[in-house]
Amino acid sequence: MKRTSLLVVALLLALAANAVPVPDNLQVAVQRTGDSYQLSARFDTSLSQCAAYRYLTDYESAVKLPGILSSTAYRETDDTVVVERTAEERILFMRVRLHSVLAFTEYPDERLTFTQLSGDSRSFSGHWLIEPHPQGSTLIFQGEWEPDTLLPLFIIDHFAKHDLERRFGEIARLAEEQRSLQSAKCPQATRLVTR
pLDDT, tens digit, 9 for 90 and up, residues 43-70: 999 999 999 999 999 999 999 988 899 9
* pLDDT value, residue 159: 75
Exposure of 71 in the CB half-sphere (CA atoms within 13 A): 18
Flag whether pLDDT at 19 surpasses 70. no
Across the range 119-131, mean pLDDT stands at 95
Flag whether pLDDT at 4 surpasses 50. no
Flag whether pLDDT at 24 surpasses 90. no
What the chain holds in terms of domains, given with CATH numbers, is 22-183 (3.30.530.20)
Strand partners, 94: 91
Distance of CA 28 to the CA centre of its chain: 11
Q: Which residues contact 124 (CB under 8 A, 6 or more apart)?
A: 100, 102, 114, 115, 116, 143, 144, 145, 146
Give the tens place of pLDDT for each residue, 96-115: 788 999 999 999 999 999 99
Lowest mean pLDDT among 79-83, 114-118, 171-175: 171-175
Q: Which residues contact 76 (CB under 8 A, 6 or more apart)?
A: 82, 103
Give the tens place of pLDDT for each residue, 81-90: 999 999 987 7
> What is the pTM for the complete model shown?
0.79
Report the chain's mean pLDDT, rounded to a whole number: 81
The percentage of the chain sitting over the pLDDT mark of 90, rounded to a whole number, equals: 52
* pLDDT value, residue 117: 97
Contact between 104 and 112 under an 8 Å Cβ cutoff? The reply is: yes
Lowest mean pLDDT among 8-22, 60-74, 167-181: 8-22
Across the range 23-38, mean pLDDT stands at 89
Q: Of 94-98, 127-131, 157-161, where does the model show the most confidence?
A: 127-131
Backbone angles phi, psi at 154, to 5 degrees: -65, -30
Contact between 41 and 27 under an 8 Å Cβ cutoff? The reply is: yes
pLDDT band at 183 (very low <50, low <70, confident <90, very high): low
Across the range 106-126, mean pLDDT stands at 96
Residue 134: CB atoms within 10 Å: 4
Which residue, among 141, 137, 164, has the nearest Cα to 67 in the 3D structure? 164
